[in-house]
Structure 1
Amino acid sequence: MQKLNSTPHQKLALPTPSADAMQASQQLQKLIRTEIANHGGVIPFSHYMEMALYTPRLGYYSGGSAKLGADGDFTTAPEMSSLFGATLAQVAQQLFTQTPAAILEFGAGTGKLAFDILSEYQDSNFPLNRYFIVELSGELRARQEQRLKDFPQVVWLSEMPAAFSGVVIGNEVLDAIPIELMMRTEHGWSRLGVAASDDPAESFKLISLHDQAEDIAHLIAQIPESESLPIGYISEVHPVEIGFMRSVAAMLLAGKAQSGLGGAALWLDYGFPAQEYYLPQRDKGTLMCHYRHHAHPDPFYLPGLQDITAHVDFTAIAIAGVEAGLDLLSYTSQASFLLSCGLTDVLKRIPVEDPQRYLPASNAVQKLTSPAEMGELFKVLLLGCDIELPISLAHNLARFDRSHKL
């Protein structure tokens, strides 16, 4: 193991947590230090990230603090406008001609996206059979149950079902899956781990792990032209995301075997194709943390109280899905996807003559589609299991398809 040459722990000008929140973070730090000690003084960064986000009652997604919206740490597209969910409902409804009328959403947050989709179907009298939610956070599930109490179609699951036919939706789910950190050294590529720090100003530190070359060859293979990148280059690879995508594919294929009907998986997240992800100038990777609407790069700041994310490598995700038996139906920017799927038509339902309703909705559309906001950074990947895009939807999406860039 080798300690990295790193700068001192950043003094971040962030809001001060409450005494209870600070105590919870300290408890989690103690658990992480114990886990590190039990594993010989170091754990992979993916293990640290998993504990920081998902430790029962103490992890970021398992604790009781608000995560989303004005009082949380970040705002997602569904929180901005109900037009987002209404548009996705229109897309799913077009796919239901080839699949059962069922949706499975991973990580439903506050339940806002589910609420907007279900409301759209309710208003149009569309008979959605089931809306499954796979949710690991007890706190978020409680909020979802309250928000969705008037929709009997909703069923909560604690884990991915073995088989499912219908439309899978994951909005900002992949970015929260633990990643491995990799660094190119003079001796080749090295996986990074987390150790307890001796510096009282720091809780933890990154160190190099001396893995056998053959044990991390599959990780290095995810990085295009890996040997041409500079010494000291750090970035993320996504083996857990790849495994998750293979499981989703297996679930849809099993659903097809049981029902005889296909399925689709729709992923919306921020990220890049591999050739853009691993650019030489992006030498510190994409790892980012979010705390009370402040973004910063320190994953060791108050574990359990902040989100830790990395951009999605859409090439790796698409390849995993295709190799597992799915078809690549579309890959494009969020702006192109939403506009191709009728976002502006949904906006037109609000009279321009009603500025109190129309102006906020119009501003939300601008944020969802502007290249300077979410429109370009966020991408949409649509994978299918024995289905074809309806002609009109296929025509609209084909104009902006970027599958050739994967």
Structure 2
Amino acid sequence: MSTLPQPSADAREHSAHLREVIQEHIIAAGGSLPFWKFMELALYAPGLGYYSAGAHKFGRAGDFITAPERSPLFAACVATAVAPALRQAGKGAVFLELGGGSGAFAEECLLALQAQDMLPARYAILEPSADLRQRQRERLQARLSPELLARVEWLDGPLAEPWNGVLFANEVIDALPASRFALRAGTVLEEHVALDGEGRFARTDKPADALLAAAVDHLQRRLPAPLPDGYRSEVLVQLPYWMQAVAGGLRDGALLFIDYGHARDEYYQPERDDGTLRAFRRHHVDNDVFAWPGLQDITASVDFTAVAEACVGAGFEFSGYCSQASFLLGNGLQTHLQAAEAQAADDIARHNLRQQVKHLTLPSEMGERFQAIGFQRGVELDAAFLLGDLSHRL
């Protein structure tokens, strides 16, 4: 049983409202929804979903802390990694960030790129949440110079017109609505969400459609051994289409993704027979993804082999794949730490900086659980992956 305190009365009312909305969708659909649709509503239902409503998600007061909130050194290393690609992309280069979070990454990345004399002509943030967009805007208005702020814009959708530059996403792919599948007697089934006799959410399995069945068959054919009967997990059926959509009109440029996950062989291990799905609330992991719709993040680990397939399929060349620790260390983490320590006010501030580095790089923290993967077309991102190459695992 969870030891987390109960949400406030207002939060419980909010969650109950979203629960009713999802129940109505289930009834209207004939008694069940594919899990991916449940996840989409729980996270993104307008005004009610976890990422659409007004509660704090990021930082110590929220439900989880991402790398940009951990330390400004994270964004400084990403800026170092992508600076050559921005230079090669030319005078009108765009930096496109998917999902701007609290705005911490945009702030520190722009400052780091300014220090390297490699500012993009435009810094675009594709943020579907109106609430998060407003918080990002307020943060950047308060902390950036007018010169830097003038380069920032918010998008309602991908850049459709031709553009050159860099697309970056940190902890975005894990929040894409995932399909859940089960294997039974050689048949692929799709996990749905139905209602039990008391109106509570419950799992049920239905025959998979052709698209999901093909996706599961594709991944199974590339595993060293067949998955066992009764195996259940996730797959991002829509990932190739999503990737082509978010890249939009990108001609010459680089793609960089950092997230938690595994290469395919490690993701679909026989013993991981219920997948990687979980919820986050108040810095605690909860396996009950039905518990508090709208109040908890729902996430699944990333299959980085699928990311590689999707990006290469979209016409990009593979640049590299490594752990977050290797990526940061290979892109100037020690140099950025020394520079920050030289500017620190006192020993306490210097100690805090070193603690931040530990959080970002230790295997027991974010260093190994998170990985970085990159792709390029007409520019070079290869040098960002010179340390700790893991491409043999993909």
TM-score normalised according to structure 1 size: 0.90
Aligned partner of 2:337 in structure 1 is 347
Are the equivalent residues in 1 in contact too, given 2:261–2:370 (CA < 8 A)? yes
Which AA in structure 1 matches 2:49? G
1:222 to 215, 219, 223: 219
Are the equivalent residues in 2 in contact too, given 1:220–1:226 (CA < 8 A)? no
Aligned partner of 1:160 in structure 2 is 158
Shift of 1:268: 0.2
Are the equivalent residues in 2 in contact too, given 1:64–1:139 (CA < 8 A)? yes
Aligned partner of 2:113 in structure 1 is 121
1:358 to 350, 356, 359: 350
What is the distance in 2 between the residues matched to 1:379 and 1:208? 32
**1:276 maps to 2:275:** no
Shift of 1:19: 1.4
- Check 1:324–1:33 CA distance in 2 against 1; reply closer, same or farther (3 A cut): same
Per-residue Cα deviation, 1:128-182 (whole angstroms, up to 9, x for no partner): 3110000011111111000111311100001111143111110000000000011
- Check 1:86–1:398 CA distance in 2 against 1; reply closer, same or farther (3 A cut): closer
Shift of 1:183: 1.0
Which AA in structure 2 matches 1:161? L
Aligned partner of 1:238 in structure 2 is 236
What is the distance in 2 between the residues matched to 1:211 and 1:255? 34
Shift of 1:90: 1.4
Per-residue Cα deviation, 1:28-62 (whole angstroms, up to 9, x for no partner): 11111111111110110000000000001100000
What is the distance in 2 between the residues matched to 1:345 and 1:211? 51
**1:207 maps to 2:204:** yes
Aligned residues with identical type, % of pairs: 41
What is the distance in 1 between the residues matched to 2:54 and 2:276? 27
Matched residue SS, 2:60: coil
- Check 1:213–1:116 CA distance in 2 against 1; reply closer, same or farther (3 A cut): closer
Aligned partner of 1:174 in structure 2 is 173
Matched residue SS, 2:374: strand
**1:255 maps to 2:253:** no
Which AA in structure 1 matches 2:155? L
Structure 1 gap segments, 5+ residues each: 1-10, 257-261
Shift of 1:275: 0.6
Structure 2 gap segments, 5+ residues each: none
Aligned partner of 1:336 in structure 2 is 326
Are the equivalent residues in 2 in contact too, given 1:180–1:237 (CA < 8 A)? yes
Per-residue Cα deviation, 1:304-353 (whole angstroms, up to 9, x for no partner): 11000000001011111102210000111111111001111100111399
Aligned partner of 1:5 in structure 2 is none
Matched residue SS, 1:239: coil
Aligned partner of 1:384 in structure 2 is 376
What is the distance in 2 between the residues matched to 1:76 and 1:212? 35
Are the equivalent residues in 2 in contact too, given 1:15–1:292 (CA < 8 A)? no
Aligned-CA RMSD value: 1.9
Which AA in structure 1 matches 2:232? I
Which AA in structure 2 matches 1:220? D
Are the equivalent residues in 1 in contact too, given 2:318–2:376 (CA < 8 A)? yes
Shift of 1:18: 1.4
Are the equivalent residues in 2 in contact too, given 1:177–1:240 (CA < 8 A)? no
- Check 1:127–1:379 CA distance in 2 against 1; reply closer, same or farther (3 A cut): closer
Shift of 1:125: 4.9
Aligned partner of 2:390 in structure 1 is 402
Give the 5 Å matches for 1:6-45. 11-45=1-35
**1:308 maps to 2:298:** yes
What is the distance in 2 between the residues matched to 1:383 and 1:228? 30
Matched residue SS, 1:148: helix
What is the distance in 2 between the residues matched to 1:280 and 1:64? 39
